[in-house]
Amino acid sequence: MGGGVAEAAAAGREAVTRERFDAVLFDLDGVLTDTARIHAACWKRVFDDLLERRARARGEPFRPFEIATDYRLHVDGRARLEGVRTFLASRDIELPEGAADGPPGEDSVRGIARHKDALVDRAIAAGEVAFFEGSLRWLRHLRAAGLRIAVVSASHHCAEILEAADLGGLFEARIDGQVADARRLAGKPAPDTYLAAAAALDVEPARAVVVEDALAGVRAGRAGGFGLVVGVARHGDRDALARAGADLVVADLGELLP
Ligand SMILES: [Mg+2]
């Protein structure tokens, strides 16, 4: 059994080479940064606020937003507004879409997204975003080997997070929430944002690797016909990522360093 583990590790280290691939497309939250933790905590604050007020108004028990289930299933990896709609639908809650510039704290899809965004802005400004060391080491190794690198994220904070850490220069292309909005690209689990990144780098999807920690993102990589989908299981969800279509699952990208 120990031999099997060693062989699997060796296969992982040889999975992404310059001979086999031209580019590696990284998700941001949960893959390069621990912003997934910040996003999850901010979503919990805004949804619990809503759920608690509704429960009180209706005399029903308050069932909080659970990061282990609600966040993973309905919000993680999805575009912001889509995450709000998907979670609300899971609780049979109907809210208006709301105006893009409505009042803060308004109970609408856009109002909830805006409130959450403000909490995330505060956390980024407070320097709460940390990068995973193993991810950066592997990314720098890939660059040195001649692979091209892009970041593909639903986040609207992608550029500011990379710039705050002085890491923007590592990426030749960035397809984030702002770019997706401007170009009307469908969010993950649709493959469109990953395909846009491959096109921006001028590489064939079959010659590109997708690296993801969210089920929606792994499905996007699979749907796009990419050459390899690497799942990053930070939550002990190896099997779920593999079932969603990940070819290879690691707990930390540092495991892929030769
Ligand atoms: Mg992610």
Q: Which two tokens stand for residue 22?
A: 């031209």
Rounded to the nearest angstrom, the distance between the alpha carbon of 90 and the centre of ligand 1 is: 21
pLDDT band at 35 (very low <50, low <70, confident <90, very high): confident
With vertex at residue 161, the alpha carbon angle to CA 228 and CA 144, rounded to the nearest 5 degrees, is: 45
pLDDT band at 213 (very low <50, low <70, confident <90, very high): very high
Rounded to the nearest angstrom, the distance between the alpha carbon of 34 and the centre of ligand 1 is: 9
DSSP 3-state of 65: coil
Residue 25 pLDDT exceeds 70:
yes
Rounded to the nearest angstrom, the distance between the alpha carbon of 36 and the centre of ligand 1 is: 6
Q: Which of 22, 29, 176, 237 is catalytic?
A: 29
Q: Which of 22, 27, 70, 76 is catalytic?
A: 27
Give backbone dihedrals phi and psi of 3, rounded to 5 degrees, phi first.
-65, -40
Single out the residue of 31, 24, 72 nearest to residue 234, CA to CA.
Answer: 31
d(CA 78, CA 186): 10
The DSSP letter of residue 92 is: T
Rounded to the nearest angstrom, the distance between the alpha carbon of 21 and the centre of ligand 1 is: 22
Residue 258: asked if its preceding bond is cis (omega within 30°), the reply is no
Residue 92 pLDDT exceeds 70:
yes
Tell me whether residue 29 is one of the annotated catalytic residues: yes
Residue keyed to tokens 């969010």: 187
pLDDT band at 102 (very low <50, low <70, confident <90, very high): confident
Residue 197 pLDDT exceeds 50:
yes
- C-alpha distances out from residue 217 to 8, 125, 127, 170, 236, Å: 23, 26, 26, 21, 17
pTM given for the model: 0.76
Tell me whether residue 121 is one of the annotated catalytic residues: no
Single out the residue of 134, 154, 148 nearest to residue 217, CA to CA.
Answer: 154
Kindly state the average pLDDT of the residues 60-87.
94
Residue keyed to tokens 């892929």: 256
Q: What is the mean pLDDT of the chain?
A: 92
d(CA 49, CA 66): 13
Residue 101 pLDDT exceeds 90:
no
Residue 249 pLDDT exceeds 80:
yes
Kindly state the average pLDDT of the residues 126-144.
93
Residue keyed to tokens 């299981």: 233
What is the side-by-side strand order in the sheet with 173-175? 173-175, 148-152, 23-26, 208-212, 228-232, 248-250
d(CA 125, CA 217): 26
